Structure 1
Amino acid sequence: MPAGLVISAPASGVGKTTLTLALARAWRNRGLNVQCFKSGPDYIDPAFHAAATGRASVNVDSWAMDRGTIAHLVGRGTDADVVLAEGSMGLFDGVAARGVSGTGATADIAEMLGWPVLLVIDPSGQAQTAAAIAAGLRDYRAGVRLAGVVLNRVASPRHEDLVRRALNDAGIAVFGALPRHAEISLPKRHLGLVQAEEQAEIGKLIDEAARFVAEHVDLDAVLRSAASWSPQPAASGINVTPPGQRIALARDAAFSFIYPHMLEAWRAAGAEISTFSPLADEAPDASADVCWLPGGYPELHAGTIAANARFRSGLRAFADTRPVHGECGGYMVLGTALTDADGIRHEMTGLLGLETSFAKRRMRLGYRLAALAAPMPGHQVGARLRGHEFHYSTIIAQPDTPLAVVHDATGAVIAETGSHRGHATGTFFHLIAEDR
């Protein structure tokens, strides 16, 4: 029977991902099968999980997904020995208004699955106060159980002793304390961590993190703190309609942000997916009936994309007769032009009139609920789509007909409506699920 555990923290940037990867690899090195999940909409971490465990990881999200979908996705851990759900932000951080089955908080997943929470706490600049924070998190919500704490970035043995004593006095188990160790820091960029597939040394980094954590954390005690878990059969699967029978999917360093559960759902519904690389100047498969451009980092490769005539002409020819959809970065590439961070304007494919700029960056972040005013691949007019938007681009022009009426998680209407022209459609949000 699998043992389930949620890894969370009081805030972002404390070390959740590093600890998750280290535990997963350390237990895998002991011969255990480890399955990871990511709570919330972060689409980068699942690839790191897969690198650490050798098993595909997916997102589970209480704002965008119903309980049946979450149960279906988590069911892939049935044959594992250990199941780890890595949280996002702080343990109770979500949006103000409830979504499908919660607010998007990690605590929702912990309570829903009945798994205890392993807290990562960075006590930098404090001592006994770290115990007060841990105790507050333990007591904040009755349905959420605390397994214990791993301290990260402790300054010295004396510092560790002060924090340990306070946590022991509060009745909170301390499974280990990690000194500062720069060698296991994961590189970052403006949308979060640099993607796993871009890091040639990711395996060595995870191995070093596993070695370091095994040296300082009681892995057996952490494993004993996990909850025995007997997953219940899911009443329903993922409510996703493939955008076509044969899907040409852009896939390379510039187009890599698509939720793994979406691709799995498309394949499970019988769709075939062929990949092509715009950065390698490849055009979509001519035998496909739909083309999908995911998000990613087109702003880092805008010059290459603009110069790749075969890709641009091939995509335009495809769009003459068949639908093409772009999400976030893919949407920008479907537009007329993209100005990079250095202020250089690059021509894109021109299938839509959208023009964007990174010269004056402004972060756009949050859940999105879109009611389609026009059809897009796989979804009809009136469909209610749930997704997540995260980018730093500024809209210079968005002249085409809006694709949807889009609200944020509070119900406020936002300007990033997406747009459509001919067979081309695009959105700034990444699709997670359609309301049933």
Structure 2
Amino acid sequence: MSAPGIIVAAHKSGAGKTTVTLALLAALRRRGRQVHPVKAGPDYIDPVFHARATGHGSINLDSWAMPPGLLDALMSEASATADIVVVEGVMGLFDGIAGSPGRSGTTADLAARFGLPVILVIDVTSQAQSAAALLRGFAAHDPAVQIAGVILNRVASERHARLVSRAVEGLRIPILGMLPRDKTVTLPERHLGLVQADEHDELEAKFEALAGLAEAHLDLDAILALARRPLLQGEHVSGRLPPPGMRVAMAQDAAFTFLYPHLVQGWREQGATLVPFSPLADEGPDADCDACWLPGGYPELHAGQLAAATGFKTKLAEFAQTRPVHGECGGYMVLGQGLVDGDGTRHAMTGLLSHTTSFADRGLHLGYREAQLLEPCVLGDAGERVRGHEFHYARVIEDGDDSPLAELADGEGNALGPTGARRSQVTGTFFHAIAGA
């Protein structure tokens, strides 16, 4: 029988839903609950915090990138081994793209599909009674989405709390907690989001503080009582990406960290074994592997060390002579001729592809992407479509002369032109793959 679930959403980005979610996860774990966390939308960093807070792996659910059957399968797997499923939303509750109904990439899509109650986090900074008007609008916006309760975040004082709560009481939407402004429980950020979980020296102490915050200021019993079992429609499962090989060498260290848990899970279910290695430790792919994958991450922060990793470069080049090597985003940058870091210093990369990237003159590239593959590769056969996203600040400053990997379109179907590169069995792109279209 599937476990009940709830969704923690917000009226906007930056309202504090990640902090509230982590506080709730840590508090439920302290109570002895088996919590399976889920992150809505394309995000690598939050799920790692989820996993550290609960001791249970987190997955992503994305209504635009994932076919409905895959959403159902992943939710079913998440709810089968837990006491409760807690979904952290993405951006504002209704924020997404102009997609087909149910496939706009919004948190609301997931709430409507699975029939899960939404707890809305509202940042009440610089407002009081107006928070009630905001909540009223969210509650009435979509009849298929149930706002089951509200958490008021960043409350300044007892008087502030009284003003807001009295205005909200008339809506008959329960206030499940009021969190004070508390900078001691915030998490530091970097250009792609939060600083990663493994870089925090005192993360467990932070979770203890968050659990204490939740116990002091949230009605945990009321939150648990709201949870409902997800509605699963049992559609045919499609969209699972094939493993790049049956024994996959996986770069894994502080420079290569962005790999979706559902991909790893799916590859293993299809019989693949992942063999980690660390380029920063000057390690190369295991010679017994039949494919190599370089995930995204922060190679620009370690460019000098990667440039000096001659053992890694030599072993990767030898591997690529006979077996496929693929790089996503940061991995794509490392497969090129050079990488210019934020200080403007150019570092020699592996040279398995001919482009050069730069982080010095950076610009944000962000959005859903659909790629149509031009030739067979580890992502699928020629002509197949793969959905995913781009999220990077680096850009290509020297195109090189490799063949493009795919034709790219944005989430609304607008053509963006060719993307990525291919040279023999080496492929790479800024595009992160999530699922087959």
1:424 to 423, 426, 432: 426
Matched, 1:403 2:395: no
The aligned residue for residue 3 of structure 2 is: 2
SS at match of 2:419: coil
CA contact (8 A) 1:244 1:378 kept: no
The aligned residue for residue 68 of structure 1 is: 69
Equivalent residues in 2 for 1:14-413, closer than 5 Å: 14-75=15-76, 76-98=78-100, 101-229=102-230, 231=232, 235-236=236-237, 239-399=240-400, 400-413=402-415
Q: 1 CA distance for matches of 2:239 and 2:388? A: 14
The residue identity in structure 2 corresponding to 1:409 is G
Query: What does the per-residue CA deviation read over 1:205-236, in whole Å, with 9 as the maximum and x for residues that have no partner?
Result: 11111101110111111111222446565642
Query: What does the per-residue CA deviation read over 1:228-259, in whole Å, with 9 as the maximum and x for residues that have no partner?
Result: 44656564265221111111000011001011
Which stretches in structure 1 are left out of the alignment for 5+ residues? none
Query: What does the per-residue CA deviation read over 1:132-153, in whole Å, with 9 as the maximum and x for residues that have no partner?
Result: 1111111101100011111111
The residue identity in structure 2 corresponding to 1:170 is L
The residue identity in structure 2 corresponding to 1:92 is F
Q: 2 CA distance for matches of 1:360 and 1:198? A: 26
The residue identity in structure 1 corresponding to 2:93 is L
Q: Structure 1 residues 176, 86: closer, same or farther in 2, change over 3 A? A: same
Number of equivalent positions: 434
Which stretches in structure 2 are left out of the alignment for 5+ residues? none
Query: What does the per-residue CA deviation read over 1:374-407, in whole Å, with 9 as the maximum and x for residues that have no partner?
Result: 2221411111011111000121022221111000
1:192 positional shift: 0.2
1:181 positional shift: 1.0
1:272 positional shift: 1.2
Aligned sequence identity (%): 52
SS at match of 1:236: coil
Q: 1 CA distance for matches of 2:379 and 2:176? A: 47
Tell me the TM-score normalized by structure 2: 0.96
Q: 2 CA distance for matches of 1:187 and 1:98? A: 36
RMSD of aligned alpha carbons:
1.4
1:111 positional shift: 0.5
CA contact (8 A) 2:69 2:234 kept: no
Q: 2 CA distance for matches of 1:311 and 1:286? A: 12
The residue identity in structure 2 corresponding to 1:77 is S
Q: 2 CA distance for matches of 1:241 and 1:98? A: 26
The residue identity in structure 1 corresponding to 2:210 is A
SS at match of 1:401: coil
SS at match of 2:415: coil
Query: What does the per-residue CA deviation read over 1:272-321, in whole Å, with 9 as the maximum and x for residues that have no partner?
Result: 11010001100110111111000000000000000110011111111111
CA contact (8 A) 1:123 1:130 kept: yes
CA contact (8 A) 2:113 2:231 kept: no
Q: 2 CA distance for matches of 1:295 and 1:40? A: 17
1:171 positional shift: 2.2
CA contact (8 A) 1:416 1:428 kept: no
CA contact (8 A) 1:25 1:206 kept: yes
Query: What does the per-residue CA deviation read over 1:91-125, in whole Å, with 9 as the maximum and x for residues that have no partner?
Result: 000012338x5100000000111011001111101
Name whichever of 232-241 and 53-62 sits farther off.
232-241
The residue identity in structure 2 corresponding to 1:294 is P
1:354 positional shift: 1.4
Q: 2 CA distance for matches of 1:368 and 1:231? A: 27
1:267 positional shift: 0.8
1:54 positional shift: 1.1
SS at match of 1:175: strand
CA contact (8 A) 1:72 1:237 kept: no
SS at match of 2:216: helix
Q: 2 CA distance for matches of 1:233 and 1:317? A: 45
CA contact (8 A) 2:366 2:391 kept: yes
CA contact (8 A) 1:364 1:391 kept: yes
1:204 positional shift: 1.4
The residue identity in structure 2 corresponding to 1:269 is Q
Q: 2 CA distance for matches of 1:301 and 1:339? A: 11
Name whichever of 196-205 and 296-305 sits farther off.
196-205
Q: 2 CA distance for matches of 1:269 and 1:378? A: 15
Q: 1 CA distance for matches of 2:362 and 2:135? A: 36
The residue identity in structure 2 corresponding to 1:396 is I
Name whichever of 224-233 and 57-66 sits farther off.
224-233
Q: 2 CA distance for matches of 1:379 and 1:398? A: 24
4+ runs deviating over 3 angstroms = 228-235
Q: Structure 1 residues 416, 12: closer, same or farther in 2, change over 3 A? A: farther
Q: 2 CA distance for matches of 1:280 and 1:98? A: 46
CA contact (8 A) 1:363 1:392 kept: yes
Q: Structure 1 residues 280, 420: closer, same or farther in 2, change over 3 A? A: same
Query: What does the per-residue CA deviation read over 1:180-201, in whole Å, with 9 as the maximum and x for residues that have no partner?
Result: 1111101110000111122232
Q: 2 CA distance for matches of 1:233 and 1:21? A: 30
Q: 2 CA distance for matches of 1:234 and 1:37? A: 20
The residue identity in structure 2 corresponding to 1:257 is F
